[in-house]
Amino acid sequence: MTEAATQLRSVVVERDFSYPPEKLWRALTQPHLIEEWLMKNDFAPTVGHGFTLTGDWGSVDCKVTAIEPNKVLSYSWDAMGLESTVTWTLTPTATGAHLRMEQAGFRPDQERAYQGAKYGWAQFFAKLEETLARED
């Protein structure tokens, strides 16, 4: 591993939800629900599928890299010079599910993107909670 690769950072957000993994999975993989809490998109839950997330600030080019229904979803996240990977991991709990999101690949010279992601994912998680509360 190169020295530069060892300096890459990740943003991690974890939260316990009182919903079953299947409900969280729908919110992570159904385009109309993704749009409610994240961004407009043309997502499809298929490995190799390229999709775009579009916000009022610009867009993100993505490609699904791993999918294990109700457990793991991973995709590339390339925007404004940042080439990273977002991985969602769902773990059943006694009262619902634990959701872990990791966005990995921030270089040391990408402090602004790193801080922006830390702020942004906290906002997205709050919107996800609202979406889940409405979705049945």
Tens of pLDDT, residue by residue over 23-70, are: 999 999 999 999 999 999 999 999 999 999 999 889 999 999 999 999
All residues at 6 or more sequence positions from 54 whose CB lies less than 8 Å from its CB, including other chains? 39, 40, 41, 60
The packing angle between helices 21-29 and 111-134, to 10°, is: 120
What are the residue ranges spanned by the domains of the chain?
16-134
Q: Could you report the per-residue pLDDT of 65-122, keeping only the tens digit for each?
A: 999 999 999 999 999 899 999 999 999 999 999 999 999 999 999 999 999 999 999 9
Other C-beta atoms closer than 10 Å to the C-beta of 95 total 11
Q: Does domain 16-134 have CATH number 1.10.3720.10?
A: no
